[in-house]
Amino acid sequence: MIDSKYYRFYQAGGWFAMYSLIVGSLYLTPAFNALEFFFAFVLLATAGLYSHGMRFGYKQWVNSAPFWVQGLYFLVNAIVGSSLAALVLFSVVYIFSLMGIVDALVPGQIHFVFQHIFWGNAINMFIALVLWSAFYLITIKARAVRDTGEALASSQLEALVQQLNPHFLFNMMNNIRALILEDPEKARLALAQLADMLRYSLKQHESREVTVTEELEIVSEYVDLCRIQFEDRLQFETEISESLLAARVPRMLLQLCVENAIKHGISKRSEGGTISIAMRELEGQWLEIFVTNPCPASSSLSPAGASEKDKTTRIGLRNIRERLNLLYKQTEVRLSFKPVSEGYAMAETYIVIPLLFSEDNISP
């Protein structure tokens, strides 16, 4: 349905344009006088008010009817509305003649004047109401298509988020299970951190975007959980200016990048390495995200140094691309792999998304 905040502007603008067109055409005729402004207003105001009633009736009774019923509804109402507008105009002219404002109508002239006023103006208003109906129908159908597309995108996005959870849970539960016998206190802390992460993930339904600060907190908890397995082999650092901490990023985006970096980069090197997240503002409207990690030099060109043939890697990388495509109209994801020395390379995930803050809500 047309948004109510826009409908009033469409309605006023459309009928004012029609009023200007009619008055402009009358102004060019030799018989034009100032009363034509008022008569045109009466005609257009009646048709405009009737079109508002057409909208109300459509919303109340035929909104969910078949398309041919909706078309018939508007066609019949265009006939009725145009006839009513012409009759109201004739009534005003007749009353003005009785009051002496315009030339008096003698009995023999009434039928001729009625025919002259009614048919010409009724046809004009019929065309105007048909055009109004067509514009209204096209607008609400386009809105319905857009809403359907947004609903589909929302369901796809939720499916992508849920696709990650089983793999994530499997890794974390294995790590905690191994820790229970060695250090029960540390295992309890790890379970609490895991619960925080699950709660964070489930809030996807509340908000698809979070601040950089919120996302980094959950990434830090994830890294702490992974240190159960990797201990000092896993290091984590960030390079982000304070002004960007309030910027909004898709929920779980950085966590997914770090997960891939650990699974397919850090875990493949006996000496481990450092995962680094850096962010920069680009041209005042874009947010650049860099996630770098060491990986074996034999790895293929992927953000975490993993083979594209690996199923879990494909899911993670494809998920990043698809989530960003669903959330933003313009974005960029570039994957690079740079050899550093024999047997050692640096992998980088480079992501560019719109720079948005809390007041710039993009959630539907």
Domain boundaries in the chain? Answer: 4-147, 183-354
Residue 159 has pLDDT above 60, yes or no: no
Residue 315 has pLDDT above 60, yes or no: no
Residue type, 54: M
Give the other-Cβ count within 10 Å of 275's Cβ.
24
Query: Cα(96)–Cα(25) distance, rounded to whole angstroms?
Result: 23
Q: Confirm if 261 and 304 have CB atoms less than 8 A apart.
A: yes
Binned at pLDDT 50, 70 and 90, residue 302 comes out as very low
Binned at pLDDT 50, 70 and 90, residue 170 comes out as confident
Q: Which residue has the tokens 């109508």?
A: 105
pTM: 0.54
Backbone angles phi, psi at 67, to 5 degrees: -60, -35
Tokens of 215: 């996302």
Q: Class assignment of domain 183-354? A: alpha beta
Condensed to tens digits (0 to 9), the pLDDT of residues 248-293 reads 998 888 988 898 888 878 888 888 899 999 999 998 899 999 999 9
Most confident listed range (73-82, 294-303, 325-334): 73-82
Q: Which residues pair with 288 in a beta bridge?
A: 280, 352
Binned at pLDDT 50, 70 and 90, residue 237 comes out as very high
Average pLDDT over residues 296-311: 51
Residue 196 has pLDDT above 60, yes or no: yes
Residue 364 has pLDDT above 50, yes or no: no
Query: Cα(274)–Cα(205) distance, rounded to whole angstroms?
Result: 32
Residue from 183, 184, 221 nearest 199 by CA: 221
Give the residue, 307 or 263, on which the prediction is more confident.
263
Average pLDDT over residues 105-115: 81
Average pLDDT over residues 333-352: 80
Condensed to tens digits (0 to 9), the pLDDT of residues 6-35 reads 788 889 989 999 999 888 888 887 777 888
Most confident listed range (118-127, 186-195, 339-348): 118-127
Query: Cα(205)–Cα(212) distance, rounded to whole angstroms?
Result: 18
DSSP alpha helices (H): ranges in 58-106? Answer: 67-99
Distance in angstroms between the alpha carbons of the first and the last residue of the chain: 16
Q: Confirm if 22 and 123 have CB atoms less than 8 A apart.
A: no
Query: Cα(353)–Cα(347) distance, rounded to whole angstroms?
Result: 20
Condensed to tens digits (0 to 9), the pLDDT of residues 50-107 reads 999 999 999 888 888 888 899 999 999 999 999 999 999 999 999 998 888 888 777 7
Residue from 260, 247, 277 nearest 319 by CA: 260
pLDDT of residue 62: 87
Give the residue, 275 or 3, on which the prediction is more confident.
275
